[in-house]
Structure 1
Amino acid sequence: MEAAAHPDWSGLPGDLMAMVMHVLDIPDLFRAGAVCTSWYAAYSTVRHVRIPIKDSSPCLFYSCAGDDVDTATLYSPSAGAAFKVRLPGPSFRSQYVVGSGHGWIVAADEESNLHLLNPLTTAQVGLPPVTGLHHVESFSDDQGRPMYNLYGEDFWHPDSPMAYKPKEMRLFLYERAYLSCSPSKGAACIVLLLHRPDGDISFARLGDDRWTHVAKSESVQWSSGYRSAAYNENDGLFYLVSFNSSIFTLDLNNGLPVMKNVLKGDSRSDDPIRSIILTPWGEIFQVWRFISVRWLDTPVQVPADCSDEVINPSRESYTDEIELYKVDITGQKLKKINSSELRGHAIFIGFNSPVLVSTEDFPMFKPNCAYITDDSSETICINMYGGREVGIWNFETEALESLDNLQVAHPWLNWPPPVWITPVLY
C-alpha cells in the first residue's frame, strides 16, 4: 500500500491565501510570507492593504483608546493611515517607552526591567535587569513586598537610598535610551542609558547580564549631567550633550570607556530639554525645547488601582518654545539659527533618537518644522496619566499644530506616552 502523499501547501490558490492572510495578526502575516514563493506573492498583495507604510519615514507608535491592552497603533503621517499590531506580553499598556531607534523601542515593564521590542515583527530581546545597575538593589518591605533602593539621589548623602515600588521606579530612574545599531546585529548593538541621578551613563551590549557604569576616571572627565545622545555611524562614537550644552564623544569600542570634550558649555541658567542631531550633511545641531507647566482646573482621571502612582494629577506640561543651534567645534560656540538651516528637512524629537527627514523625499511632511511627542520625564514621573503633547512645531509662528485629524480618528491614550519609530522588518 502506497504511503499517502504529503499535501503541497504551496499549491493553494492565491485568492484563498489572500483571504487567510487578511485575518492574520501582523507578525503571522510576515511568517506566512516567508514560507514559499507562491505564499510570498499573496503576502505582497495583502501587505500593502494591511500595512499601509509606503516608505521608511517615522510613524507614531501609541496605545489607542478603543483597543485592548495588548494592541498598539502605528500611524504613518506619510501614508496618512494607521494600522494595528498585537504585541506579546507584557501588555503594551503596562510599559514605559524610554527610547526608540532602528525600528525598535526600549521599554520598561512593571518590574522596571528594560527590554527591546520590534513592533512589526514582535521580536523581543531582554536587557540586563534594573538591579544590574550599579546603584540599584532589591529588598522586601515589612509586608514582604518587593522594593528597590536607589542610591545617589541625595547629593549630600549619596549612601542614603530612596526606596521605590517596582512599578514606580522606572518613572524616576530612566531618562533616555539609545541604540548604536539594530538589535538584529546581536552583541554589536550597544544600548546607551541615561538615568538618574542627573543624567548618569550606563551601557550594555546585547547578551550582557549587567549594565556597565561610565564612572569618572582618567578617561572620563565628567560622568553625569547628560541630557541627550546620538550615535555616529561614521566614526563609531556616541555624541552626548550635557546640561550646559557642552558636547562629549564617548568611545565604547576598545575596553574602557573614553570620553572627549569637543564643545565647551555655556553659562545659561535655564535647562531646556536638549537634543543633539547629527545632520546628513555633516553638521551638528542642538535643539532646545523649553517646557512650561500649567495647572488644570479639572485633574485628570486616574484609574483607582493606580492612584498612589500619581503625585499631582493637576499638573500638565507643554512646549513653550523650541530653539535651534548650530555647533561650531572649531570656534567652540553655538550659533542660534532659524529653521531655514534645516534645508527642507523635518525634525522628529521625543523619546526617540532624534532624526531629520527630507521633505523632498517625503513630501507629506512639512519642511523646516519639528514633529514632537511628549518627553518631559519630570512631569511624566509625577503624573503618568496627564496630557501628552503630539504635534508639529511651526518655527515661524512659534505654535504647535495638530497632526492631521489623528486624535479624532485614532485617539491616543496618555499612557504609555506616544513615541516616534521608524519601522523595519528585522
Structure 2
Amino acid sequence: MLRQSAAAPWLLCRADGDKDTRCYDVAEQQFHDDHVDFPVDKTCRGSAFGWLFMVQQTPPVFLLNPLTGNQIPLPPLTTFPHVLAYRPEKPGREYVLRYGSGKTYAHDKKYTEKKYIVRTAMSADPDGSSKEEELVVMAICFCSNFSLAFCKPGDAKWTPITHQAVIPFADVAFWKGKFYALDHNGGVYACDLSNPDHPELSLRDNELDLVVSDTRYLVISPDGDELMMVTRHMCVSPENDALFDSKYAAKYNDGEEEKEAVDVVVDEPDDDDGAATTSVVTYWTSKFRVFKLIADDDNWINDGRGWKGWDEVDSIGDFALFVGFNSPTFVSTEEHPELTANSIYFTDDVTYDCYPWWNEKRYAGHDMGIYDLTTGTIQPLSASIRNSPMPVWISSPE
C-alpha cells in the first residue's frame, strides 16, 4: 500500500468565527465551501482514504465519509476488550473498564469516548474494498498496555490480539498485506490475521534512546517499499508556573475504582498548595525526528532475520509529510511546489481534552504547524483555523 498521495490532504476544521466545519486546502491556503458531515459531538480517532473513524459517548462506533455523509457501522464500544459494562443509568460512571493491573474503574462517557481508542488504521479503502482486499480496521486501545483489537464491517464484536508486550503501542499501519504495530521503544510487531480466530503478533524488537513522552508515528515511505518512524517531541508547561505544582496534578484521578469510589478532587483557590483554579497545563510541539527501518532483506517480516533497527535520517527530500490522527501521508513537493519540501505538516492529536481540568480554556486542538526539517523551525498552518473540534487531515478528492 502506497502512502503517497497525488493531492495534498484537506484539513477538516472550522474557520475562525464560523459555526460550520469545512475543508481547508493547505496547498491553496483557502477554505472550500462544500458541505461536510462532521458531527462535533463525536470524536475522531483515525482518518484514511477519505474516511474517518468516529466514536460517540454512547456505544456506537462507525466509519464516516465527511464529503458524502456515508457511514459504515462497526461493532460498538461495549464489545471492545476491557470494556466490561455500559450503564447509562449511572451518570458520570457509565463505562466500567478493566486495566492491565486487573483493577476495574468506572469512567464517564466523555472520558471513554475520547480516551479509550488511541489510534486506528484501515487495510483498504472502504469505497473500493473487495474480496481480494477486504476491509479490516485495527485499533489501539488505552487499557492494558494499549492493546490491539480488530474488526470487519458486519462483525458482532472487536477481536482482541493477545500479546506479551510490556511496552505500550504508539501507532499501527497496514503494509504489504499485514498490520504493523509500533511500540514506544521503537519495537515493531507484525500482526498475522490469516487465522482471525487466533491472530498472532511477532516482535521485531529494538531499543532506541527515545523520550518517553514523544509521540510516535509508523510511516510508509513514499514508494511503499520501506517502513519509517517519525517521533514528535512535545513540551509541556503550566500556563503560569507560579500557580502550578505537582501536588495539584497528583490530586486528579482518572476515574473511580469500582467497589471503592474515589472522588475527583478539584483545586481550591485558597488552599495554599501553589495551585489555583486558573492553572492550566499547556503543550506544544518543538521538533520532529525521522528514522528509516534498516534490514538486510524482507526476511525480517516473516522471521526477524536481517532486522537491524532504525537509522535516523535528516531529510525526506522533495516531500511533505502530513501527520496527526490520520494515517501519515507523503505528498510530492515537485508536483505541488506550493508546499514546503522536507517538511512535516502536523495537527494536534493529544487526548487531554477528556479531562475536566482541561475544559476551562479548551487548549486541546491548538498544536498545529509546519515543521521544517532543514531549519528546525515551525510555521503556523493558518491563523484562521479554530482548534475546536480538533482539526484532522482527510484525503482530498482527486
TM-score range normalised by the length of the shorter chain: 0.7 to 0.9
1:190 equivalent in structure 2? 136
1:148 equivalent in structure 2? 95
Shift of 1:203: 0.7
| 311-320 or 122-131: bigger deviation | 311-320
C-alpha distance in 2 between matches for 1:82 and 1:180? 30
SS in 2 for 1:92: coil
Identify the structure with the greater helix proportion. Answer: 1
- The correspondence for 2:27, drawn from 60, 78, 89, is 78
SS in 1 for 2:383: helix
Per the alignment, do residues 145 and 286 of structure 1 end up closer, same or farther by CA in structure 2, a change over 3 Å counting? closer
- The correspondence for 1:59, drawn from 5, 10, 29, is 10
Q: Which amino acid aligns with 1:103?
A: G
Q: Does 1:272 align with 2:223?
A: no
Per the alignment, do residues 261 and 81 of structure 1 end up closer, same or farther by CA in structure 2, a change over 3 Å counting? same
- The correspondence for 1:168, drawn from 111, 114, 125, is 111
1:252 equivalent in structure 2? 193
Shift of 1:163: 0.7
C-alpha distance in 2 between matches for 1:208 and 1:223? 29
1:45 equivalent in structure 2? none
1:180-213 Cα deviation digits (max 9, x unpaired): 1112227821111011123210111111121111
Number of aligned positions between the proteins: 341
C-alpha distance in 2 between matches for 1:326 and 1:116? 31
C-alpha distance in 2 between matches for 1:141 and 1:127? 20
Note the aligned Cα RMSD (angstroms). 2.8
The TM-score with structure 2 as length reference comes to 0.78
C-alpha distance in 1 between matches for 2:108 and 2:130? 32
1:303 equivalent in structure 2? none
SS in 2 for 1:209: coil
The TM-score with structure 1 as length reference comes to 0.73
1:255-295 Cα deviation digits (max 9, x unpaired): 32122223433365634111111113322211011111122
Q: Does 1:205 align with 2:152?
A: yes
Higher relative contact order (CA 8 A, sep 6+): 2
Q: Does 1:325 align with 2:299?
A: no
Sequence identity percentage: 24
2:326 equivalent in structure 1? 352
- The correspondence for 1:133, drawn from 74, 80, 87, is 80
C-alpha distance in 2 between matches for 1:352 and 1:398? 23
SS in 2 for 1:407: coil
1:239 equivalent in structure 2? 180
Per the alignment, do residues 402 and 82 of structure 1 end up closer, same or farther by CA in structure 2, a change over 3 Å counting? same
Shift of 1:111: 1.9
- The correspondence for 2:233, drawn from 258, 276, 290, is 290
**Structure 1: which 5+ runs fail to align?**
1-53, 300-307
C-alpha distance in 1 between matches for 2:169 and 2:146? 5
1:21-45 Cα deviation digits (max 9, x unpaired): xxxxxxxxxxxxxxxxxxxxxxxxx
Contact 1:347 1:354 in 2 (8 A): yes
Per the alignment, do residues 363 and 140 of structure 1 end up closer, same or farther by CA in structure 2, a change over 3 Å counting? same
C-alpha distance in 2 between matches for 1:162 and 1:207? 30
Per the alignment, do residues 147 and 337 of structure 1 end up closer, same or farther by CA in structure 2, a change over 3 Å counting? same
Per the alignment, do residues 209 and 361 of structure 1 end up closer, same or farther by CA in structure 2, a change over 3 Å counting? same
User: Which of these two proteins has the greater Rg computed from alpha carbons?
Assistant: 1
Per the alignment, do residues 119 and 333 of structure 1 end up closer, same or farther by CA in structure 2, a change over 3 Å counting? same
Q: Does 1:418 align with 2:391?
A: yes
1:262 equivalent in structure 2? 204
C-alpha distance in 2 between matches for 1:170 and 1:176? 13
SS in 1 for 2:67: coil
SS in 1 for 2:114: helix
C-alpha distance in 2 between matches for 1:169 and 1:276? 25
C-alpha distance in 2 between matches for 1:223 and 1:297? 36
C-alpha distance in 2 between matches for 1:296 and 1:338? 32
Q: Which amino acid aligns with 1:322?
A: F
**Structure 2: which 5+ runs fail to align?**
244-263, 268-276, 296-305
Q: Does 1:401 align with 2:379?
A: yes
